[in-house]
């Protein structure tokens, strides 16, 4: 059993406790590099399922505790160790959709004003 350093697609770096031959460890590291870290993944699952843990102020610390129990340590230069990421991808997509809807309503209002002025 060994701790192997990993950088996930969410930008977090960390270490995972892996067992087995070196080739299987390298394959696991490559697979993990294409995914979100377990903490970010857990937060996104809680958000989608409306889990009450997502509403907690210290949700990132809770996710880190659960992650540590799974043999994964998350730390990153981009975020402090016990700090939640600024926004998840899903949150950013939701904000984008809301802004697009707001722009559509503004366009409709402008169109109706232009028609009324003619």
CB 73 within 8 A of CB 80: no
Task: Please tell me the total number of residues recorded for the chain in this structure.
Answer: 118
Token look-up 């659960």 returns 66
Quote the pLDDT of residue 11. 84
* Mean pLDDT for back-to-back runs of 10 residues, the chain (118 residues): 85 86 87 88 91 89 88 66 54 83 89 82
Measured between alpha carbons, how far is 82 from 91 in angstroms, rounded to an integer?
A: 20
**Bridge partners, residue 15, by sequence:** 5, 73
pTM, entire model? 0.59
Quote the pLDDT of residue 83. 45
Quote the pLDDT of residue 81. 41
Chain Cα centroid distance, residue 118: 49
Comparing CA positions, the residue from 97, 93, 79 lying closest to residue 44 is 93
Measured between alpha carbons, how far is 24 from 112 in angstroms, rounded to an integer?
A: 63
Quote the pLDDT of residue 87. 58
């Amino acid at each position: 059993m060994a701790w192997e350093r990993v950088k996930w697609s969410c930008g977090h770096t960390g270490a995972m406790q892996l067992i087995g031959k070196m080739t299987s460890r390298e394959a696991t590291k490559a697979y993990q590099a294409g995914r979100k870290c377990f903490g970010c993944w857990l937060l996104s699952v809680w958000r989608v399922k409306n889990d009450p843990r997502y509403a907690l102020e210290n949700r990132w610390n809770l996710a880190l505790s659960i992650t540590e129990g799974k043999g994964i340590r998350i730390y990153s230069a981009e975020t402090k160790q016990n700090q939640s990421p600024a926004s998840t991808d899903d949150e950013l997509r939701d904000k984008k959709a809301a802004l697009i809807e707001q722009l559509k309503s503004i366009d409709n209002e402008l169109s109706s004003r232009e028609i009324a002025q003619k």
